[in-house]
């Protein structure tokens, strides 16, 4: 079995930050494309991520998720749990160059239980690729994530994946997109051949045929052959005629790409592909480079905007430990918002007002690390052992700025966590603190339960499995979880806590960030308390679907 050929240079060959003139900064910004891939579980997201890296020549052979025999696991799925189950449970940042552009791709968890992690990622990108299964169409998790993109003004490129397998008709899929999410699909590359018989793509704007040739297991780039309309007609016959007629029907009805409409979030360019066979992947990258927006200004908490040419600033959107078992370090992923980042520069941590030294800075490709000397707006940089940083924190140089915090979702699942062995208590505490800082779960405490029995609060139960697996693998701690009979969390305050604590089916906790939460057994109990004690504060939290 071959292994990926990954760039391992120790430095990034770009000019030093202090010598970069403003016009060069602007040029570097225009070269950046920072995006996320969003989808329902099993739509092929991690496989597509791998295929994109393959076409950018970052790796020599693509992997696949669990269950695809003959291919190694994907670079972006690095946790043992991900490899075993074939699902992504943690976001991963990948950076590579393509067509004179620097691509920052953030692979997101597909499972609904990790929607909070996906939301954090979507605060750090400028565009999204919405991946749809050709047979299943739009699914619940995809719809939720699209609504987040719409709320944040993130333009969306639609990729219909798995066209090499039996599925629905292309016109039916596009009708569903328009009807269910109100987004007008504009085809850029239309399939030649029905789902399950993927011959190639019609380049709608060039009226050109791109024919693909399969490779062994889809592990290498599929050769492309370009033909004019006459040659395509001769080769594909009725399949070519059907593709031309369907695409022309859509264009004539007004479904043609318009950049302003796309950036405004009213239309979505559409590409048909097979990530597993590496068909259409090159076209996805070309579309991102051509149409996805470069980094722009970001709103701050004062109501202004930080321009990309302003002094350095960045926002932390993800904290992850356990990626390097040899060093057991902790990475804080920051998205550069403005200015030029220079490794070793001393910046200010906005939340504490304290100086922060950026000596250990990396770009990340899965688990592979490369020391980065400079980074520009749009780039994702990992800061090693940045224990003071948490998702939503701001770093800046020179002129002060603070970006809005990333909200925590309303948890729906609760469990008491206990160490199996009292002799492992110190390791247990370190593990709990680390999971809390990373935002893997929310940690709740109160005086009655004490630190030895913290309560975990999660959007989905699979988050508990991640905690257990990581505590065992990274800290050597066996822990057990005991589910609690609560299903609702509401924000409260000290004035209401006493009375709430006396109510049946209610328990009050304090989250690590200082927010007081009342856990309630069910909606009927909540309705009763709100009716009988209307003066008590029971404020809804942000829901995962908001």
Q: Where are the domains of the chain?
A: 36-293, 299-396, 413-532
CA–CA separation, 455 vs 149, rounded Å?
31
For residue 414, what are the β-bridge partners? Answer: 457
Superfamily of domain 413-532: Peptide chain release factor 3, domain III (3.30.70.3280)
Q: Find tokens 């939290």 and name the residue.
A: 541
CATH code matching the domain that covers 299-396, chosen among 3.40.50.80, 2.40.30.10, 3.60.40.10, 1.10.1040.20? 2.40.30.10
**Domain 36-293 maps to which CATH number in 2.60.40.10, 3.40.50.300, 2.170.120.30, 3.40.50.2300?**
3.40.50.300
Q: Which residues pair with 338 in a beta bridge?
A: 313
Q: Are 441 and 89 in contact (CB under 8 A)?
A: no
370 assigned to a ligand binding site:
no
Residue 109 burial by Cβ neighbours in a 10 Å radius (0-12, 13-18, 19+):
buried
So what's the pLDDT on residue 412? Answer: 87
Q: Name the pairing type of β-strands 354-357 and 346-349.
A: antiparallel
CA distance 435 to 466: 10
Coil, strand or helix at 213: coil
To which H or E segment does residue 245 belong? helix 238-252
Q: What share of the chain is helix, strand, coil (3-state, %, to 5)?
A: 30, 30, 45
Q: Work out the average pLDDT over 380-394.
A: 88
| 211 annotated as a binding-site residue | no
Q: Residue 60: what pLDDT?
A: 56
Residues 6 or more apart in contact with residue 206 via CB below 8 angstroms: none
pLDDT bracket for residue 6 (50, 70, 90): very low
pLDDT greater at residue 416 or residue 440: 416
Q: Across all residues in the chain, what is the average pLDDT?
A: 85
Q: Is the pLDDT of residue 120 over 60?
A: yes
By mean pLDDT, which of 99-108, 346-355, 391-400, 523-532 is the weakest?
A: 99-108
Give the whole-number percent of the chain exceeding pLDDT 90: 56
DSSP string, 322-336: -S-TTTT-EEEEEEE
* pLDDT confidence band for 322 (50 / 70 / 90): low
Half-sphere exposure (CA, 13 Å, Cβ side) for 149? Answer: 31
Which percentage of the chain shows pLDDT scores above 70?
A: 84
Q: Is 502 left (phi over 0), alpha (psi -120 to 50) or beta?
A: alpha
Is residue 111 annotated as involved in ligand binding? yes
Consecutive H or E run containing 434: helix 425-438
Question: 319 and 438 in contact (C-beta within 8 Å)?
Answer: yes
Extract the tokens encoding 455: 């309560």
Among 231, 243, 253, 154, smallest CA distance to 198 is for 243
Helix (H, G, I), strand (E, B) or coil at 321: strand
Please check if 260 is assigned to a binding site.
no
Could you tell me the pTM of the whole model?
A: 0.80
Question: Residue 108 annotated as binding?
Answer: yes
| Cβ atoms of residues 424 and 477 within 8 Å | yes
Q: How far apart are CA 508 and CA 486, in angstroms?
A: 11
CA distance 329 to 324: 7
């Amino acid at each position: 079995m071959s292994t990926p050929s990954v760039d391992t240079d120790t430095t990034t060959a770009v000019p030093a930050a202090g010598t970069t003139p403003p016009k060069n900064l602007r040029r570097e910004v225009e070269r950046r494309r920072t995006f996320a891939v969003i989808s329902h579980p099993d739509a092929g997201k991690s496989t597509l991520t791998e295929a994109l890296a393959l076409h950018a020549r970052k790796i020599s052979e693509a992997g696949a998720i669990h269950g695809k025999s003959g291919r190694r696991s994907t670079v972006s799925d690095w946790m043992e749990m991900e490899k075993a189950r074939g699902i992504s449970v943690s976001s991963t940042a990948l950076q590579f160059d393509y067509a004179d552009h620097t691509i920052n791709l953030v692979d997101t968890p597909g499972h609904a239980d990790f929607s909070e992690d996906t939301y954090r990622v979507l605060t750090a990108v400028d565009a999204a690729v919405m991946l749809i299964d050709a047979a299943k169409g739009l699914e619940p998790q995809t719809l939720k994530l699209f609504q987040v993109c719409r709320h944040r003004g993130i333009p969306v490129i639609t990729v219909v994946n798995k066209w090499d397998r039996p599925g629905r008709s292309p016109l039916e899929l596009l009708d569903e997109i328009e009807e269910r999410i109100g987004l007008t699909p504009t085809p850029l590359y239309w399939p030649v051949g029905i789902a399950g018989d993927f011959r190639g793509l019609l380049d709608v704007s060039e009226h050109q045929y791109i024919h693909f040739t399969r490779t062994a297991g889809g592990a290498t780039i599929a050769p492309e052959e370009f033909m004019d309309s006459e040659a395509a007609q001769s080769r594909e016959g009725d399949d070519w005629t059907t593709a031309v007629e369907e695409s022309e029907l859509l264009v004539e009805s007004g479904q043609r790409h318009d950049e302003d409409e796309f950036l405004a979030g009213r239309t979505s360019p559409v590409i048909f592909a097979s990530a597993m066979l590496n068909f259409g992947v090159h076209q996805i990258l070309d579309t991102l480079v051509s149409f996805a927006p470069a980094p722009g200004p970001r709103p701050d908490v004062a109501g202004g905007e930080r321009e990309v040419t302003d002094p350095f600033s960045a926002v932390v959107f993800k904290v992850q430990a356990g990626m390097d078992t040899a060093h057991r370090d902790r990475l804080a992923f920051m998205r550069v918002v403005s200015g030029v980042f220079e490794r070793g520069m001393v910046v200010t941590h906005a939340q504490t007002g304290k100086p922060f030294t950026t000596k250990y800075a990396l770009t990340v490709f899965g688990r592979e690390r490369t020391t980065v000397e400079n980074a520009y707006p749009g780039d994702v940089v990992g800061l090693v052992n940045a224990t003071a940083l948490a998702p939503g924190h701001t770093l800046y140089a020179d002129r002060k700025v603070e970006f809005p915090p990333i909200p925590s979702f309303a948890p729906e699942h609760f469990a008491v966590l206990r160490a199996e062995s009292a002799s492992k208590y110190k390791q247990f505490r370190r593990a709990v603190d680390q999971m809390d800082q990373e935002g893997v779960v929310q940690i709740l405490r109160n005086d009655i339960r004490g630190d030895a029995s913290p309560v975990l609060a999660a959007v989905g139960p699979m988050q508990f499995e991640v905690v257990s697996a990581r505590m065992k693998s990274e800290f050597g701690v066996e822990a057990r979880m005991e589910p609690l009979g609560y299903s609702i969390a509401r924000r409260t305050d000290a004035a209401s806590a006493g009375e709430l604590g006396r109510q049946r089916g209610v328990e009050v906790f304090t989250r690590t960030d200082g927010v007081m939460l009342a856990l309630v057994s069910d909606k009927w109990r909540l309705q009763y308390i709100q009716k009988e004690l209307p003066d008590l504060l029971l404020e809804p939290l942000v829901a995962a679907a908001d």
